[in-house]
Amino acid sequence: MRRGFSIVEVMVAAGLFLILMTLAWGGFSVLNRGGQGLRASSEPRQQLRVLLANLQNDLRMASYIYPADTYTILGQNLTTPAPGAAAQALVFAVPENSTPPLTYKVCTIFARPRQPADSNNPNAYEVVYYTVEGVDPPSSDFPSEIDPNLLPPNGSLRVFDAYLDGPNALQLTLSDDGNAVIFHVDFKRKPVRGETQQDSLESAISMRNNR
Give residue-wise pLDDT tens across range 154-209.
999 999 999 999 999 999 999 999 999 999 999 999 999 889 999 999 999 999 87
Res. 24: pLDDT tops 60? no
Question: N- to C-terminal Cα distance for the chain?
Answer: 97
* Closest listed residue to residue 90, CA positions, set 115, 71, 112: 71
What is the CA angle 50-56-61, rounded to 5? 140
Report d(CA 208, CA 211) in Å as an integer. Answer: 9
* Closest listed residue to residue 196, CA positions, set 26, 41, 17: 41
* Closest listed residue to residue 166, CA positions, set 130, 129, 128, 112: 112
In 10 A of CB 15, how many CB atoms? 10
- Mean pLDDT over 70-86 rounds to 98
DSSP characters for 36-80? HHHHHHHHHHHHHHHHHHHHHHHHHH--EEPPS-EEEETTEEEE-
* Closest listed residue to residue 143, CA positions, set 54, 151, 187: 151
Res. 19: pLDDT tops 80? no
- What is the Cα 207 distance to its own chain's centre? 22
Model confidence at 150, in pLDDT bands (50, 70, 90)? very high
Q: What is the phi/psi pair of residue 42, to 5°?
A: -95, -10
pTM over 0.75: yes
Report d(CA 179, CA 139) in Å as an integer. Answer: 25
